[in-house]
Structure 1
């Protein structure tokens, strides 16, 4: 908090004034009228103080100024809040009538706005801090309090030069929260980040306690997944999260990765152990593993290690390796070669078969991928003798579903039992044994 005329003096006392409710004076760094000290300290400090106790308690003075100013800003906006603090009436911010012992309300408010977010001491009978005091003070909302009016925080705003510039404009122009949010959505910062990432970053700065709790819960879940895929407790070293766990948490919370995708990502690290790669090498490593998985291509860990090193050393490019994976996938899934070369992933092309397998065999869809034998067979079907060479041979879905029902697993499903019961009832009915 800053002051205008009390010089930061928490022990400042204003002159005695004849107020409508009786004789009174202002107290403390922010020059709060004596009549307001009791109710305001009870409300914002949690303990009702006398004016003498208030003057001696810096924390109480700061709490009152911070709490009451925040309320005024939310209720009246910046100009109205400045007017209410000075005169007790938010609607008088354009009044040019001289005030006892101080400037007109308009001059006072204009001066406050020129100082970008400050609220100068003064105050009337009900709202103000002083009224005609010779020791008027200037409480100022700090950056966090000002930022909170726009649903953000000083930490988040200061993390981006673009947000910082926008925030300064908003404070100087007394923008409403709605206007600030509208302008925020026009920024490059907003446009270049996903909704999930924006929420993650915003929560980090505006509600760090919840952000931290979310990370703790994610860490516990990810540790369980790591054990499941064979990583053991490699996500922690002596109880301390490793870079791998931090990355997994970030992918899960900030990028919105599903548990299955996280599991796949963690699974690629089971064999490499201490050979886990970081920085640019780690980014290339992750991208190649993901692209290969989504396109049903299997290559050795040694291939990954050798080629990632080649990328970071400038001997090849990531694009060259991605083209190699797609070319390999196009060869494996010839019926879809054109789509794969055009940039579609085989996992997306196989979606109808994956969904059918999960539904008919009663499996979790996340447990069915391109390496499922039924899906693999359907996706790699060869053209018939009567088909032109290179035309591909996408297996009809009805044929695929028929073959699924020949799988021994199907007989153990509820679908199979219901189907067989239905057939049995029909047979019995045909023989006149059931109606």
Structure 2
């Protein structure tokens, strides 16, 4: 295992090497090229760019830096994120390849240019580091004042700098030498603090102080969000998925909130079906509607499936509504339906009679069949609902032109004819 001192000693051998954009060798380095080369020579492979290098290792606060740690800065205001990196060598100093026209050199964290652009520190796995005995000595002290004050909140200097309101308070605290208690009271009185939840504050701080961990949390949330979307039958765009993941991480969304969000994106697939939980609900709705003799539209099924996924209604409530509609559609059986009977079961004698008399499969007959529906909704001479008796219903079926073409009708006609001839003594 390489030591932090080994890393520093190797890096110092290249002092004066000229800056070359994209350079990764002693013939010329850029900032991340120098870091990658030095660590590579020590047997540790790092990503090529500053933006990716900050994702490696563990976060280190300024007052905990040790020789061999990496230090990151945001030197380009036109772009978000780190764009410069150096190797901490101890005593508040770091070695880096700064810019075109300059060679590799040593700079101080006390320099206001770097202090104001600080992004974070990272300790790389595989490097053995020892405490820096000079970390708080001499020139480092003014550099760490602002950082240490920010740390009283568990927040990095980079995070305060990303929030104009908080950064203003931090500068006032440093200039006025506020006590930590006064500083904390002032921060809690800011608009940002009052309008930002605890989980959101933690997420924003982590995003700035430990982007690698933050990105890992966001990716894990995306995976979980996608899994929940599939389970719910929601179809999310990449933007919707990212928003849900952010809501889960930043705002600590509970399962009910997640389901309510997902329910808005329940849609039919190109095969006109719903997936996941929504598909199960849709199938249950159609089955209940069929049993209760209630016609439901595709849009109605979709809407109710969305409401169930979102937690705005339940299958029990939908079933109760369907039964109420059924009682209204078949008033002659209203009492039985309210007592728990299904109209399909109540209509079974009519369905069987229709299938038998008209010679059709029973599966082709239901409460929606014209003859059955008319019999179920017959009214008497007083205008009151009174389902047709089976005797009358059978007679009505036999008056249907379709009945005359059935084998049953032909057999009956032959039987009547034979009886007439027998009565006339023409046949035995």
The bucket for the TM-score relative to the shorter chain is 0.3 to 0.5
Higher strand share: 2
* TM-score calculated relative to the size of structure 2: 0.36
Task: Please say which structure displays the higher CA radius of gyration.
Answer: 2
